[in-house]
Amino acid sequence: MTPPIFILASSSPRRLSLLADIGIKPDKILPADIDETPQPTELPRHLAQRLAREKLEAIAKRNPDAIVLAADTVVAVGRRILPKAETAGEVRDCLKLLSGRRHHVYTGVAVHVPGNKIRERVVDSIVAFNTLMPQDIESYVTSGEGMGKAGGYAIQGKAAAYIRFISGSYSNIVGLPLFEVAQMLRNCNGRK
């Protein structure tokens, strides 16, 4: 019996690279096009879970015989959800808010297994930034590294110099909690 194909429902190069780190290569990459706007009063953890599930459902309904992995990462200070920074101003605003504080990085992960079984998890990591000087913020903004990143920074890059503490999964902060994903994919009809 041929194992089902494995689809990653994400266009994130970081997620693809993280999966490769643990020896998993998707057969297809099919990003889900969904509205990622938070609902009024929606908590960050719930947003990450809902978006992962909606991405999963969008791809799994067209590929019911495939294993599908979907994820969404949300960065939050308390109940405040930080954007995926699209401008230098948003990166700057995120860094000013994160400076000298702890924040949460939530990643919702959802896996569809043929037979319409869905496995879901939300992984929470805590990150603390050192107090950033204005020149630190401007240097980072100028680097362009925070563009397109949830919370306006990439822990695996230059921002690592500003992180004084993490608790939880490092790979979760990068964009995909590898331990949890590996456990969720274990014994999926002959797949890792």
pLDDT, tens only, 34-86: 999 999 999 999 999 999 999 999 999 999 999 999 999 999 999 999 999 99
| Nearest C-alpha neighbor of 31 from the set 42, 15, 48, 50 | 15
Q: Reply yes or no on whether the pLDDT at 192 is more than 70.
A: no
Domain ranges of the chain: 6-185
Give the active site residues: 72
Which residues are CB-neighbours of 105 under 8 A, at least 6 positions away? Answer: 73, 74, 75, 124, 125, 126, 127, 150, 151, 168, 172, 173
- For 143-157, how does the pLDDT look when each residue is reduced to its tens digit (9 = 90+)? 999 999 999 999 999
Residue 119 has which token pair? 């496995």
Q: What is the pTM of this model?
A: 0.93
- The Cα 65–Cα 48 span in angstroms is 25
Q: How confident is the model at residue 191 (pLDDT cuts 50, 70, 90)?
A: very low
CATH architecture of structural domain 6-185: Alpha-Beta Complex (3.90)
Do the strands 67-77 and 80-81 form a parallel or antiparallel pair, or are they unpaired?
A: antiparallel
Residue 177 has which token pair? 């909690």
CB 152 within 8 Å of CB 94: yes
* pLDDT reported for residue 20: 96
